[in-house]
Chains A and B, each alone.
Chain A
Amino acid sequence: MLRLHYNLEKLSMGMVVGIIVAASIGGAVEIAPLFTIDETVVAPDDLRPHTPLELAGREIFIREGCYACHSQMVRSLADEIDRYGPYSLAGESAWDHPMLWGSKRTGPDLARIGGKYSDAWHVAHLLDPRSVVPASIMPAYPWLTRSLDTRVLPGALATLAVLGVPYSEAMIDRAETDALAQSRPDSDAAEDVLARYGDAVALRSFDGDPSRLTELDALVAYLQSIGTLTAAAQEELEEAGK
């Protein structure tokens, strides 16, 4: 062995090939199967994609680095289920490019935040967390009151569609109007949002001001949608409980 290595050390290309081979095996064994087994490739039947407004909110979540303090992955441990809700399933994030599982909980997990608080609570909390939770160390985000830029949405949906998220032609074409309509339940276009994304989608002015579409609208719509895109996790937990 030592002799062999003694000779290998004289060949720079030999070292290069050796390193590449040795460093490829582990990744290949662990990653390649994830693209084939049902457990990790099948999305739940009832999974719906994010609406354009929610997607815009998700982009703001990424932009502001909320994921640095908040995970979105409830582990299958009793205390996490008691604290947050059903543990997360692979299928729930099947269409998430990128996933936002996170690695640090400076703040609580958000995988089950949808529906936990009112919109008004979120708005107040985002603008000034200490106004609602005095001991909070979360930063304030006063600039979220600015208008939402919806121009990137059609392109974003189209890109995701190429990557396999089931956005139809109509969804892509109407992305900007759908974003606006979701925050204006009285408008004619609001019905179309439900037709395209399902009746479970929340239609309302999330920041409480229907006259303007703001970044807050988008972010709160996203927060309220987290964990509600499929009932699979809830069902699996009930199944396991029986």
Chain B
Amino acid sequence: MTGTLSISERQVGLALAVALTLLGLVMAAAARQGPMAVHGAIAAALGLALVFRLGGALYDPEVPAGRRQRFYDAPTRFGIALTVIWAIIGMGVGVWVAALLYWPEATPPWPWTSFGRLRPVHTTGVIFGFGGNALIATSFHVLQRTARARLADSISPWAVLIGFNLFCIWAVTGYLMGSTQSKEYAEAEWYADLWLVVVWVTYFVLYMRTLARRAEPHIYVANWYYLAFILVVAMLHIVNNLALPVSLAGARSFPIWAGVQDAMVQWWYGHNAVAFFLTAGFLGMLYYFLPVRSGRPIWSYRLSIVSFWGIVFFYIWVGSHHLHYTALPYWVQTLGMTFSVMLLIPSWASAGNAIATLNGAWHKVRDDATLRFMFVAAVFYGLSTFEGSFLAIRPVNSLSHYTDWTVGHVHSGTLGWVAMIIFGAIYTLAPQLSGRETMAWPRAVEWHFWLAVTGALIYVVALWNAGITQGLMWRSYDDNGALSYSFLQSVMAMAPYYLMRTIGGALFLSGAILCALNTRATMRRATGAVRAWDRPLVPGPAE
């Protein structure tokens, strides 16, 4: 990090690190005990580590001239390392909580190891840690390449990555200590939420400033998606997390929303976290890395326009499909259902556009596991959106809601689509950023591919069975008009599926570990060579 910063940038960085240390100390001193004090201490420790790192390098030689003629890839490399680390943490906890559902006696007697506290560690770890770092890291890369301009400055990319990861660490350690807002995918407490807003604004400003410097008149499709991801996530995050802290010196707060309004705001947020975090951003990734890897332009420009605006406009309406038959007014449910079905059109347009792009490159898909990751991602994207639109239909949802079918759907989207496209992007980026032709262990990519596909299929098929079984058991009546099964019978029926899911998840996790080791080996064997064409037309700002 320090080697790529000029002396004056190191000074600014040092000032920011001191500020972070002070912020941490103030938090810790104000709270004195409990989660907020621990979080203050974590921030102070991180700030102090950065102070030493930057301070120690303050009088190192100035960066070599000519840096402005290069893209700035060091933050992307750092982001990819964080991505694979969070992959192991998040999925490791996923496998563990999956095992706990099969084998609950394994829970150790410490509060922080309990299922209810670990489950959000899994969801936050994978969505924000694994997914979020992948999005930020790739967005820096894609933005520079498609704008043909170097990032607008060298400090804010680090501030974004380090700040975002501090948020993730605060969030997951908070849950372990029992500090949570209980809103799914938005469990972090108020000060972490505020912190994320600061980080996000920095990210947006960096993005816009770099775009403004672009050498291409047109903004490439991938950037539309990354922009939608940044903007709409900000909007959702702020509205859903509005809360009143009990005291400024404590973690606990109460959301300003209550009851049915809270439910609607929560799922407006929840489903659009799916839409703009887990879909839009990753479509941006797809629209860049798929053409690059396959060497073919996107099949239809027109279709990409239609699907982009379709997704941005339709998705916002669908949150209410999480609340069918509940106390939410009927007409809102109906709107959610209708738009969910219409959403299939832009979703399949995107998936179709991606798959049609591969026309004429099928031999590459056969031979190149990296491209195959992206192809499988597009297929799973098509499958899970079809499934989603189907589950949103009210009578279908009467069976599927509250069951493991939802969890199966979730993981067909996240394992099949999100994780696969990330792996495809990592295997494309890691060699390029290391000045190499291939990953350090090309064979391991092939292994990873099969582990991931097998793991995801086992997981998803097991939970389809589980969910449909549950749904049918809960609603079936015997000849006397009494319910046929007790709830407990439905719990007992789940055991084989939960075991299978754990095995599938373990296979998927092994693949991810292989990916992490392979990426590490690749980056360690970097040659430093830069391809002649991989240079900005617009150099960095004058120094």
In A67-105, the 8 Å CB interface with B consists of: 67-69, 71, 73, 75-77, 79-80, 82-83, 87-105
Q: Which of A30, A67, A106, A163 lies in contact with B317, CB distance below 8 A? A: A30
Q: Determine whether the beta carbon of B254 is less than 8 Å from that of A88.
A: no
- B178 at interface by CB-CB < 8 Å: yes
Write out, one digit per residue, whether chain B residues 103-129 have a CB within 8 A of any chain A CB (1) or not (0). Answer: 011010111001111011000000000
Given contacts A20-B231, A141-B114, contact A64 B178 (CB under 8 A): yes
Q: Determine whether the beta carbon of A83 is less than 8 Å from that of B268.
A: no
Complex interface: chain A residues within 8 A of B323 (CB): 101
- Taking residues whose C-beta sits less than 8 angstroms from the other chain, chain A's interface range is 35 or more
Given contacts A99-B259, A159-B246, contact A27 B218 (CB under 8 A): no
Q: Determine whether the beta carbon of A98 is less than 8 Å from that of B406.
A: no
Given contacts A31-B268, A98-B255, A136-B491, contact A76 B325 (CB under 8 A): yes
Q: Which of A67, A77, A98, A129 lies in contact with B258, CB distance below 8 A? A: A98
Q: Determine whether the beta carbon of A30 is less than 8 Å from that of B335.
A: yes
- B63 at interface by CB-CB < 8 Å: no
In B321-354, the 8 Å CB interface with A consists of: 322-329, 332, 335-336, 339
- Bound form: Cα–Cα A24–B477 in Å: 44
Q: Determine whether the beta carbon of A96 is less than 8 Å from that of B252.
A: no
- Bound form: Cα–Cα A67–B401 in Å: 15
CB distance from A232 to the nearest CB of B (A): 11
Q: Which of B312, B329, B332 lies in contact with A19, CB distance below 8 A? A: B312
Given contacts A25-B313, A26-B313, A62-B182, contact A97 B254 (CB under 8 A): yes
- A155 at interface by CB-CB < 8 Å: yes
- A9 at interface by CB-CB < 8 Å: yes
**Interface-centre pick from A25, A98, A164 (highest chain B CB count, 10 A):** A98
CB distance from A5 to the nearest CB of B (A): 5
Given contacts A27-B268, A138-B104, contact A104 B114 (CB under 8 A): no
Complex interface: chain A residues within 8 A of B120 (CB): 65, 68
Q: Determine whether the beta carbon of B320 is less than 8 Å from that of A30.
A: yes
Residue of B at shortest CB range from A64? Answer: B116
Q: Determine whether the beta carbon of B260 is less than 8 Å from that of A40.
A: yes
Contact surface of A with B, Cβ cutoff 8 Å: 2, 5-6, 9-10, 12, 15-16, 18-20, 22-27, 29-31, 34-35, 37, 39-40, 59, 62-69, 71, 73, 75-77, 79-80, 82-83, 87-109, 129-130, 133, 135-143, 152, 155-156, 158-160, 162-165
Contact surface of B with A, Cβ cutoff 8 Å: 100-102, 104-105, 107, 109-111, 114-117, 119-120, 175, 178-184, 208, 211-212, 217-219, 224, 227-228, 231-232, 235, 244-247, 250, 252-266, 268, 276, 302, 305, 309, 312-320, 322-329, 332, 335-336, 339, 398, 401-403, 406-407, 470, 474-475, 477, 483, 487-488, 491-492, 494
- A-B pairs with beta carbons under 8 Å apart, 24 shown: A5-B305, A15-B227, A25-B313, A27-B316, A35-B261, A40-B261, A59-B252, A65-B115, A65-B117, A65-B175, A68-B116, A76-B325, A77-B325, A77-B475, A79-B474, A83-B483, A93-B260, A96-B258, A97-B256, A98-B254, A108-B487, A138-B104, A141-B114, A164-B258
